[in-house]
Structure 1
Amino acid sequence: MCQPFIRNYQYNVIRQQAESVLRATRSVGDPKILDSVRYGAQLKATELFPDLTDKGKALLESVTELRTADECHAYVQALEPYLVPFPPITGGQIRKLFPKNKKLKIPDLSGIDFRYITYLSWTDISTGKMFIVYHNGEQFLGLEGRFTATNKKSYCFACNRYEELVLFSGVAKKRPAQASSDYYKSVGHYVCADGRACNNNITAIASLEKFIHSVLGRV
């Protein structure tokens, strides 16, 4: 077995491509169109990883061989040993990311399967706050902001899926060079109310990292 190399958002891409192959197998009668769907799925899966090993390449390319729901399920399950989990984090580490919040409520980390996490998020209803924790490959980054329920569905900026959203508003840490002492800038975006759903849907990290940069001035 090769080393884990698939991050959660990449796993979501591959899983969705496997599902697209299964749908095409069930609904497309033209063999040429079906082949196009299969090899398109293979390309989208393999192009996520510019430095694939031969074994990793063979694993991903086998998406073209799926014919039944059982095969699709087995294929997705076979990816799980290769998942790179969200780096281990403790409650103490999370508290250090939000030093000004002395009454910070920490989510139950024991109940989270970190293989399927691209970022952590949770809300504190009592304070109207939302928290996001992301790992940029070197360190953890924490975002704290107000959240406002929208009570409607639309497209999340992070996963681009149609879900129940909240408006997350964070205070930008980066200040213009000539800013006055009372300079204030709020940066907001609509994000999934349910972080688990967002992590299950997310297939790219560019929008998430761009937002983090707009709030923290770095990513």
Structure 2
Amino acid sequence: MSTPFIRNHQYNIIKKQTDFLLKTLRTVADRRVLETVRYRAAVNVTEAFSSLTGDQQRMLEQISIFETAFDFQKYLSEIEAYLEPYPPITLKQIQKLFPKHKKLKVPDLQSIDFRFVTYLSWVDVATNRLFIIYPFEGRFIGIEGRITPTNKKGYCLFCNRHQELAFFSVKTKPAIASPDNYASIGQYVCMDNHACNQVITDTGPLEKFILSIRK
């Protein structure tokens, strides 16, 4: 069993369950409560996948047997070998997604560990624009819009963590083409896109937002 099958957001679910289980082990003495929490942790992890082989399920369910922080860290390190990275993407592919930007500033792709990426994004500080690329049904979808810091904390649409937010506003295609006729869709998202990728556990809100723009 060496085929990658764990996507970044699923790995984040596993991390979240290991953290919760470890905290419970450190604070709860009741064995019945611990057994219930162990069982739920294994269920929450396996339910994050639409399908699993027997070997894959048994490997993931091992989360329920560990006792120490070392055990959990070893478990996470071992399953990293099964992470399914973000699909390969080239500079030319990125430029093709944003043809209006002839001098598009793109992050150093060689420096990114794509195993831990759900959506590729970066901010062009000079223009205050956020660029997002998301792989969906075998193709890349690119969106861009103005990013405005809010200087306040709240819940990010993409990862649902409580963090410093920015308002991301994207223009959409109008029903009737006209320079003065356009619509926009805006949402509050994390200022720190890297941290967002590290904790996102559900791609649903992200996909819904992107598809509402590309409908």
Letter paired with 1:209: E
Letter paired with 1:12: N
Which runs of at least 4 in structure 1 moved beyond 2 Å after TM superposition? 179-183
Aligned with residue 188 of structure 1, among 186, 189, 192: 186
Cα deviation, residue 50, structure 1 = 3.1
Q: 2:53 and 2:142 mapped to 1: Cα distance?
A: 34
Q: Match for residue 145 of structure 1?
A: 145
Work out whether 1:212 is the aligned partner of 2:210: yes
Structure 2 gap segments, 5+ residues each: none
Letter paired with 1:140: F
Cα deviation, residue 180, structure 1 = 5.9
- Residues 21 and 66 in structure 1, CA contact (< 8 A), matched pair in contact too: no
TM-score (norm 1): 0.94
| Deviations 1:100-157 (CA, angstroms, capped at 9, x unpaired) | 1112100111111000000011111111111001000310110010010112221100
Q: Match for residue 98 of structure 2?
A: 98
Q: CA RMSD in A?
A: 1.2
- Residues 18 and 66 in structure 1, CA contact (< 8 A), matched pair in contact too: no
TM-score (norm 2): 0.96
Change (3 A) 1:126 1:50: closer
Q: 1:52 and 1:134 mapped to 2: Cα distance?
A: 24
Q: 1:151 and 1:76 mapped to 2: Cα distance?
A: 34
Structure 1 gap segments, 5+ residues each: none
Alignment of 1:107-122 (within 5 A): 107-122=107-122
| Deviations 1:68-96 (CA, angstroms, capped at 9, x unpaired) | 00001001111101100001111111000
SS at match of 1:133: strand
The alignment covers a number of residue pairs equal to 214
| Deviations 1:166-188 (CA, angstroms, capped at 9, x unpaired) | 11110113x44xx4634311100
| Deviations 1:21-66 (CA, angstroms, capped at 9, x unpaired) | 1111111111111111111010010112232111101111000011
